[in-house]
């Protein structure tokens, strides 16, 4: 059986990667969403193993020490990370795994999993990105400007990705992700020798 | 404007590349089919510039000398080749150009146009390939065996291609080619610097 793909959808905040991933999972129910681990407390309604794997700081740090994360970050006193095992198990079973993640996280994943499929989501325009950041929260003007400048800088990291999608139309953007997944499954990789042998054996 | 793609669809005879290309052009009328040049005489109904560019042997050899072919071959006393100019003009205009071609031709094209998209079509099985070769003509058993063995050997060249599609269902195979084209347009290439600059300038 062929291995599944690790599909990493990433980009600056406000580019719309969350909406794209949600819609992708609706139309491609066989794709598995990678569930993150965190040390923060569950919020009302959050389900263990669905929204997050909730764990103690000590356990999280043990997993870090055992190199059990594809990536992790420490944000406002809590850890967040992507457990390696889930991705490994599912892809080994031939399932595609989707990871929706910020740029710093994606770059960490790429170091450990270079054969993943790295997709960068760009907003339709910088103007539009600013509007989205403004509409997102109740932040001060200075905070908005800072967030916007961070996104502006982060866009340069697109160079490290395999694909770039401009999110000017949600349906089109989702279609593009689906096309990328379909195309990646047709790619000639080092496994091709095995495929040829299998193919020729049957005569 | 972005450059168009050169899409090379190739594979052993009997794999079904002709049928796939015909259907692809039906559903994607914006893709331009590359027209070959030949020194053989036009057959009844064949139209200059549509079926072939018909030309004298002398003219063909002049074009060879000027390196005007992406690939060419000499078959049973006639030349057949893919003029470079058509591909260059159309792709420069942002049009995608489709080339349906045998494996030897495709490998020549790859030397001159390595940034093309090379797609290898495999028959559903070797057994099925043999059936297709048998049904195709009124050839002797020895000729069929020879043609089959040639196809058998040629399959190893799939390693030189970017993508491989098993043609076990025509509709699926065409969908895969379309997905590959869509995905290739999202690929991060050296042009990404220009895209980022354009993107950032507009603020």
Token pair for A149: 């400048």
SS3 content of chain A, % helix, strand, coil (to 5): 50, 20, 30
Chain A hits for B202, CB-CB cut-off 8 Å, are 125-127
| Higher per-residue confidence, B146 vs B187 | B187
Integer Cα distance of A131 and B62 in angstroms = 60
Q: Which of B16, B19, B15, B24 is nearest to B7 (CA)?
A: B24
Separation CA B133–CA A55 (nearest Å): 62
ipTM more than 0.85? yes
Pairing of strands A78-83, A69-75: antiparallel
All residues of chain A having their beta carbon less than 8 Å from the beta carbon of residue B163 are 183, 186-188
Q: In this complex, do A156 and B196 lie within 8 Å of one another by their Cβ atoms?
A: yes
Mean pLDDT, rounded, for B97-116: 94
In a domain, A126, yes or no: yes
Q: Give tens-digit pLDDT for B111-160.
A: 999 999 999 999 988 888 888 888 876 678 888 888 888 888 899 999 99
Q: Does A182 touch chain B (CB under 8 A)?
A: yes
Edge-to-edge order in the sheet of strand A69-75: A53-54, A37-38, A78-83, A69-75
- Asked whether residue A78 is domain-assigned, the answer is yes
* Residue B197 pLDDT: 86
Residue at B116 is within a domain: yes
Specify the pLDDT at position B48.
Answer: 94
Q: Contact at 8 Å (CB) between B137 and B27?
A: no
**pLDDT at residue B198, rounded to an integer:** 81
A148 interfacial to chain B (CB closer than 8 Å): no
Domain assignment of residue A116, yes or no: yes
Q: Contact B122/A202, CB-based, under 8 Å? A: no
Put simply, the chain B residues between 45 and 64 with a CB less than 8 A from any chain A CB are none
Q: Which of B53, B82, B56, B55 is nearest to B69 (CA)?
A: B82
CATH of the domain at B176: 3.40.50.300
For residue B127, what is the nearest residue in chain A, using CA coordinates? Answer: A203
Q: Is A12 assigned to a binding site?
A: yes
* B144 or B161, greater pLDDT: B161
In this predicted model, what pLDDT tens digit does every residue of B53-91 receive, in sequence order? 999 999 999 999 999 999 999 988 999 999 999 999 999
Domain that holds residue A189: 6-201
Asked whether residue B80 is assigned to any structural domain, the reply reads: no
Contact B164 A192 (CB under 8 A): yes
pLDDT in tens, chain A (203 residues): 579 999 999 999 888 999 999 999 999 999 999 999 999 999 999 999 888 999 999 999 999 999 999 999 998 899 999 999 999 999 999 999 999 999 999 999 999 999 999 999 999 888 888 888 888 766 788 888 888 888 888 999 999 999 999 999 999 999 999 999 999 999 999 888 888 888 788 76
Put simply, the answer to whether B183 touches A187 (Cβ < 8 Å) is no
Radius of gyration of chain B (CA): 19
What's chain A's average pLDDT? Answer: 92
pLDDT for the residue B196: 85
- Helix H or strand E encompassing B53: strand B52-54
> Measured between CB atoms, which of B162, B186, B188 is closest to A187?
B162
> Is there a domain that residue A1 lies in?
no
Residue B39: what pLDDT?
Answer: 97
Residue in B closest to A183 by C-alpha: B180
Select from A120, A195, A203 the Cβ nearest to the Cβ of B127.
A203
Task: Please give the full DSSP string across A70-132, using - where no structure is assigned.
Answer: EEEEEETTEEEEEEHHHHHHHHHTT--EEEEE-HHHHHHHHHH-TTSEEEEEEPS-HHHHHHH
CA distance, residue B84 to nearest chain A CA (Å): 26
Helix (H) and strand (E) counts in chain B:
8, 9
pLDDT tens-place string over residues B12-37: 988 899 999 999 999 999 999 999 99
Q: Which residue has the tokens 């591909």?
A: B87
Question: Does A158 touch chain B if contact means CB atoms closer than 8 Å?
Answer: yes
Distance CA A114, CA A69 (A): 15
What mean pLDDT value characterizes chain B? 92
Rounded to whole angstroms, the Cα distance separating A171 from B33 reads: 29
A163 interfaces chain B, CB cutoff of 8 Å: yes
Domain assignment present for A60: yes
The average pLDDT across B180-197 equals: 91
User: Is B133 part of a structural domain of the chain?
Assistant: yes
Quote the CA–CA distance of B120 and B8 in Å, as a whole number: 8
Structure confidence at residue B138 (pLDDT): 67
Give the Å distances, CA to CA, from A5 to A27, A76, A184, B110.
17, 32, 8, 28
Residue A41 CB burial class (10 angstroms; 0-12, 13-18, ≥19): exposed
Do the Cβ atoms of B14 and B79 come closer than 8 Å? no
Give chain B's domain count: 1
């Amino acid at each position: 059986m062929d291995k599944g793909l690790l599909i990493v959808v990433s980009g600056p905040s406000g580019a719309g990667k969350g909406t794209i991933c949600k819609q992708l999972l609706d139309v491609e129910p066989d794709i598995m969403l990678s569930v993150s681990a965190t040390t923060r407390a569950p919020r009302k309604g959050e389900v263990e193993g669905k929204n997050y794997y909730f764990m103690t700081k000590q356990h999280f740090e043990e997993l870090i020490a055992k190199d059990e994360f594809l990536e992790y970050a420490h944000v406002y006193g809590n850890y967040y990370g992507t457990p390696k095992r889930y991705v490994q198990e599912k892809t080994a079973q031939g399932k595609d795994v989707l990871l929706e993640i910020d740029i710093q996280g994606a770059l960490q994943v790429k170091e450990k999993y270079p054969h993943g499929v790295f997709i960068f989501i760009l907003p339709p325009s910088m103007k539009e990105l600013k509007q989205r950041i403004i509409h997102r929260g109740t932040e001060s003007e200075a905070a908005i400007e800072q967030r916007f400048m961070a996104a502006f800088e982060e866009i340069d990291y697109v160079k490290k990705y395999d694909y770039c999608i401009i999110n000017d139309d949600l349906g089109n953007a989702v279609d593009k992700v689906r096309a990328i997944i379909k195309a990646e499954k047709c790619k000639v990789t080092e496994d091709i020798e095995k495929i040829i042998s299998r193919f020729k054996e049957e005569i």
